[in-house]
Amino acid sequence: EAGVAQSPRYKIIEKRQSVAFWCNPISGHATLYWYQQILGQGPKLLIQFQNNGVVDDSQLPKDRFSAERLKGVDSTLKIQPAKLEDSAVYLCASSLVRTETQYFGPGTRLLVL
Amino acid sequence: AQKVTQAQTEISVVEKEDVTLDCVYETRDTTYYLFWYKQPPSGELVFLIRRNSFDEQNEISGRYSWNFQKSTSSFNFTITASQVVDSAVYFCALSERNTGNQFYFGTGTSLTVIP
């Protein structure tokens, strides 16, 4: 069974530029999550989707971050414009349903200069 | 307040030693789940175990074992006869039914196994 796929794996941009990350969850998983992991910390949930609907985006900085999961399968997370403090690993995870174990992708390492 | 506390920031052991990683959680929910994940240098979080709040049985899987004690709100993880490949950051996580099963991660324990 294929795991969670993410791209790109690495991205370097300058502050005020835009960037987008892509995630394809495990086939059949209804719930998709985006996390931000700053160096030395645990992952912090940014947004959670159930199919194509948002369940929780309370910690998403909505002035610069946006995410969508239009067809209820893959998802994109966008940052516009990026700030230095956005440098982190962005992890995507999926689960069969909300109560089940989350499986994580390899992450995208973002460096904002 | 931190819902999941991993007090050990970094641990170093010599290969073949046993090591225990501590995890203390805080919740008022009666239905919750506890998890351990391993994050090797490659960065991907690898699922290790999931326990629900109604199952306090300890679990053993090869060299890994987990001790769940509701009385002390702890879910500790022991690696027996550690190996270099065990070197990673280990995260404990809590999922509460009352908060829509949102995951709360601890800050992680970085384990280094010295050959």
Residues A98, B37: C-beta atoms closer than 8 Å: no
C-alpha–C-alpha distance, residues A87 and A74, integer Å:
23
Residues A48, B50: C-beta atoms closer than 8 Å: no
Q: Report yes or no: B44 at the A interface, CB cutoff 8 Å.
A: yes
Any idea which residue has 């910390």 for tokens? A41
Angstroms from B107 CA to nearest CA on chain A: 5
Q: Taking a C-beta distance cutoff of 8 angstroms, is the pair B3, B95 a contact?
A: no
Q: Is the pLDDT of residue B99 over 80?
A: no
> pLDDT tens digit string along B10-66?
999 999 999 999 999 999 989 999 999 999 988 889 999 999 999 888 888 899 999
> pLDDT tens digit string along A76-99?
999 999 999 999 999 999 998 777
Q: Report yes or no: A98 at the B interface, CB cutoff 8 Å.
A: yes
C-alpha–C-alpha distance, residues B23 and B3, integer Å:
10
Q: Report yes or no: A22 at the B interface, CB cutoff 8 Å.
A: no
Q: Which of A102, A103, A109, A111 to mutate to test the interface with B (most CBs of B within 10 A)?
A: A102
Chain A partners of B50 at a C-beta cutoff of 8 Å? 101
CA distances from B1 to B5, B103, B106 (A): 10, 15, 12
Task: Name the β-bridge partners of B56.
Answer: none
> Tokens at residue A81, please?
């414009």
Chain B partners of A40 at a C-beta cutoff of 8 Å? 107-108
Q: Is the pLDDT of residue A1 over 70?
A: no
